[in-house]
Structure 1
Amino acid sequence: MKLSIPAKYFDGKTSRPYLLDLEVFLGEQISFYFENKRAVWKFHEIKFEKIGDHLIITRKDNLSESLKIEDSEIANNIYRSAKQSKNVSWYHTLLDLGPKFYLTATVATFTFIACFYIFIIPWIGEKVTDLMPLSFDEEIGNTSFQRIRSFSDIDEKRSAKLQNFADHIDFATHRKLNFKVIADKEINAFALPNGTIVVYTGLLSKIENYEELTALLGHEVTHVKERHSTKTLARSLAGYLVVSVVVGDVNGVMTSLADNANQLNNLSFSRAFESSSDLGSYEILKRNKIDPNGMYQLFKTLKTSHDAGIPELLSSHPLTEDRIKFSKSLLDKKEYTFEKNPELEDAFKKLKENP
């Protein structure tokens, strides 16, 4: 199909356009006369760019030389022909797809990212952790504890008593466990990947019997046994690696690892890890024939100081009310018989004594 249309020609030498007539053979070529010379531009030798209602045609081998067609209807006809002959860049092809495409693409992209973080990142974290030797946990945990020691008041006498208490419990692990007490009214406890379990005096003051304390220590030891800290670090590193590759900030990966390693005592485990540790605590109570009511009472004690009305969706830990229900369900199973443990009871009384 042949078209004869007016256009503006820019020769690349001056900014002044020249008015001339084009002969357009759709899908084939464009020809025109300039300074008594006939120029022929083959479709495969030129590129087309739609700007508003105008069409800009540029030579691929000379980008300074171009044609501008201002008639919108004619410009659209030529542009459609150029797209059919694949002479329009992928960028401009995307621009022509319209807002519905962009909205769909945006939703699809965010869905993919969400699925990646929910399903793929945790899987990567598990696999990376499997490849990491336990010496990594030891090194990270030791470094973190030295930092904690520098600004915390470690109660060495109570730490020795807590260690003595824990030594009477079979935690079913070959990992070396060290128990430390921090003199602070904060109601908290946490586990470091090297097997260091830290309990604050604020929490110890709330615990009323050795069954509750065993449930607490069993929960924290399970974090160590199942390497939850290392898995959380690996997940964080994997997620940050993806972002860093996209934005080109690979150095940020090591910064992220260092930041997380320095904040292990404030690390928030996923709800899945917390639930797993609650179940692990129950198994330790069962293994040692300790009253499982200890876990139930521990969570009731914690309820007065935790939650603060935070919706579970926004909390990295299961809400205490849910944990109370979970522990009650385990209690109701009555899977094993328990008995009094005089050694643990005595060790607990010594721990609760004023130093």
Structure 2
Amino acid sequence: MSTTYTGTYHEAGGRYYQATIFLSAVTITIRYRDEAGQEKDVYWLTKELIAFNDQVAGSELRYRNKKGEIERLVIRDPQLVQALKNTLTHHRLFGKAHTRLFGNIWLKLGVIALIIIAILVGLYAWLMPWLGDRMASRFSKIQEIDMGEQMYQAVMQQYKVDTHKTEVLNAFYEQLHYDIGYPVKITVVESNDMNAFAIPGGHIVVYDAILEQMKTPEELAALLGHEGSHIALRHSLRNIFRDLSQKMFISLLLGNESGIASTVVNNASALQQLQYSRSLETEADDNGLQLMAKNNISTQGMVRLMKMLQKESSGAEPAPFLSTHPVFKDRISNIEKQIQQLPAVSTSNDNLKKLFHEIYE
């Protein structure tokens, strides 16, 4: 004897009847009595079922008859619901019943998760630069110089210093009379890479390979003016704090400034690959031009420096210093515009020429 179930059968015309349900894999038989008390059977082919809505309060099964009309079976018998799922596992409506039951929930949760991720990404993109600048602003100049000295000692362990060029280049810098508000110390190191970088607090490291490409003292003055501007404007400090802001976040929350300094010093090697934004590079170019013009040094040296770097960067394997700098074409264009607004320099500095040539002796 087959198992029977109960449900409420709704005709296409709107009338409904309490019914007894017989279930097989091919058909669903709905037996009910009409208004006259006559027993009638309705046969649904399971392949013609069009919808199943499974709810705790009551489920509903829909069927399209031969006339194209929709008939419904309202089910409050949990045993019938389970029997449908067990018997019609081959059917598209029941083979993924769990997906339908939870589909809307998972969809909503997925949308919420995506929104949360988007908010977090946006906060990260905004918060990390702000956090880096915030940490940099909390450092006094004395703290910056002290930390920069520790960074310098850490990073110099991997280099061999050219003492002759270092001595001459520091004398050259003194003749420039650049006043950037920090005690600048320049170190020339031996390397085949075209590189130079500024350390927070006043140290500038110059690779001897970049010196070999310079033709005039004004180009060297431009390089030192540019790197010195990164120090004066605290670009190096702000950028490395931005790069390490995640690691230093806990130290900031705890107000542990010594912890921040330790994190920076331990990551001093990042200075060699430190990337500045285009706005910071442009700011350093502009400030470097101001330093040159103020001290009667031809600002055309900055143009020649950029053109030399542009030429070097066009090679198959540009050096890290060049690959991390913005497009030189744009920088040269900006520099030439800035020069037009600066007073022309007609004098030359014999001391600079003499010291420049001593570098290569």
The normalised TM-score by structure 2 is 0.62
CA offsets, 1:9-38, max 9 Å, x none? xxxxxxxxxxxxxxxxxxxxxxxxxxxxxx
- Most deviating of 252-261 and 196-205: 252-261
2:271 to 264, 273, 288: 264
The normalised TM-score by structure 1 is 0.63
Correspondence for 1:180: 187
Deviation at 1:240, TM superposition (A): 4.5
Deviation at 1:321, TM superposition (A): 2.1
Q: Does the CA-based 8 Å contact 2:229-2:284 persist in structure 1? A: yes
CA offsets, 1:56-100, max 9 Å, x none? 9xxxxxxxxxxx957669xxxxxxxxxxxxxxxxxxxx9744537
Structure 1 unaligned regions, length at least 5:
7-51, 57-67, 74-93, 246-251
CA offsets, 1:119-145, max 9 Å, x none? 332223222211112233233322232
Compared CA separation, residues 96 and 328, structure 1 to 2 (3 A): same
Q: Does the CA-based 8 Å contact 2:154-2:268 persist in structure 1? A: no
Correspondence for 1:15: none
Q: Does the CA-based 8 Å contact 2:240-2:271 persist in structure 1? A: no
CA-atom RMSD in angstroms: 3.8
Alignment of 1:7-86 (within 5 A): none
1:169 aligns to 2:176 (yes or no): yes
Alignment of 1:1-355 (within 5 A): 96-99=104-107, 102-103=110-111, 105-106=113-114, 108-240=115-247, 257=264, 259-306=266-313, 316-331=324-339, 333-338=340-345, 339-352=347-360, 354=361
Q: Kindly tell me the number of residue pairs found equivalent between the two proteins.
A: 263
Question: Aligned partner of 2:353: which letter?
Answer: E
Compared CA separation, residues 257 and 172, structure 1 to 2 (3 A): closer
Correspondence for 1:40: none
Rounded Cα–Cα distance in structure 2 between residues aligned with 1:69 and 1:169: 91
Rounded Cα–Cα distance in structure 2 between residues aligned with 1:284 and 1:186: 27
Compared CA separation, residues 244 and 288, structure 1 to 2 (3 A): closer
What secondary structure is seen at the aligned counterpart in 2 of 1:263? helix
Deviation at 1:254, TM superposition (A): 9.0
Rounded Cα–Cα distance in structure 2 between residues aligned with 1:200 and 1:262: 15
User: Identity over the aligned pairs, expressed in percent?
Assistant: 25
Deviation at 1:53, TM superposition (A): 5.3
Rounded Cα–Cα distance in structure 1 between residues aligned with 2:350 and 2:145: 33
Q: Does the CA-based 8 Å contact 2:248-2:263 persist in structure 1? A: no
Rounded Cα–Cα distance in structure 1 between residues aligned with 2:282 and 2:79: 67
Question: Aligned partner of 1:173: which letter?
Answer: I
Q: Does the CA-based 8 Å contact 2:218-2:299 persist in structure 1? A: yes
